[in-house]
């Protein structure tokens, strides 16, 4: 951040414009003490508060049902999940009742989701028997 320091040696009298400016923020006693014993005034410029964060969009129910009925390969699923934010991935994991660590990164969450969602297909390939439907 850009800043500027004004050093005052004891006995320095403040310029009238600077004195007027400083009186809006400090008492006359403080300014007299600055003139008497010296000191430093530091001006620092910094940007204002950050813009409000974008609201996290909720995951649409259509997308959730698509993921629940997903039949493609892992790569395709990863491509679908990568644009999601961490908070959205956590919501998806919660929807599937998958426990996740609070400090999980997006890559870890995607890996866990992909593993869970494609597990049924993997076991079907291993055993040769399709899973029973829960309906």
Mean pLDDT, residues 98-125: 85
Q: What CA–CA distance (Å, rounded) separates 53 from 68? A: 30
16 lies in some domain: yes
49 lies in some domain: no
121 lies in some domain: yes
79 lies in some domain: yes
Over pLDDT 70: what percentage of the chain? 87
Instruction: Tell whether 30 and 81 lie within a shared domain.
Output: no
Q: How far are the Cα atoms of 23, 72, 112, 113, 130 from residue 117, in angstroms, in the given order?
A: 67, 10, 9, 6, 15
pLDDT digits (tens, 9 = 90+) for 90-107: 988 888 888 888 888 999
Q: What is the pLDDT of residue 33?
A: 93
Q: What is the DSSP letter of 26?
A: S
Instruction: Tell whether 66 and 40 lie within a shared domain.
Output: no
Instruction: Tell whether 71 and 22 lie within a shared domain.
Output: no
Q: What is the band of 27 on the pLDDT scale with cuts at 50, 70, 90? A: very high
56 lies in some domain: no
Question: How many structural domains compose the chain?
Answer: 2
Domain range for 40:
3-44
Burial class (CB in 10 A: 0-12, 13-18, 19+), 26: middle
106 lies in some domain: yes
Q: What CA–CA distance (Å, rounded) separates 98 from 94? A: 6
The yes-or-no verdict on residue 56 having pLDDT over 70 is: no
The yes-or-no verdict on residue 84 having pLDDT over 60 is: yes
Instruction: Tell whether 39 and 93 lie within a shared domain.
Output: no
Q: What is the mean pLDDT of the chain?
A: 84
The yes-or-no verdict on residue 28 having pLDDT over 90 is: yes
130 lies in some domain: no
Instruction: Tell whether 33 and 76 lie within a shared domain.
Output: no
Q: What is the pLDDT of residue 26?
A: 92
102 lies in some domain: yes
């Amino acid at each position: 951040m850009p800043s500027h320091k004004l050093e005052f040696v004891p006995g320095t009298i403040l310029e009238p414009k600077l004195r007027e400016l400083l009186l809006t923020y400090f008492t006359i006693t403080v300014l007299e003490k600055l003139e008497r014993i010296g000191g430093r005034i530091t001006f620092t410029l910094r940007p204002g508060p950050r813009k409000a964060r974008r609201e996290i969009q909720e995951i649409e129910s259509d997308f959730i049902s698509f993921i629940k009925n997903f039949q493609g390969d892992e790569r395709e699923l990863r491509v679908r999940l990568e644009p999601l934010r961490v908070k959205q991935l956590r919501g998806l994991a919660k929807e599937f009742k998958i426990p996740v660590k609070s400090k999980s990164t997006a890559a870890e969450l995607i890996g866990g989701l992909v593993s869970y969602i494609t597990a049924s297909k993997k076991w079907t390939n291993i055993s040769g028997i399709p899973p029973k439907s829960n309906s």
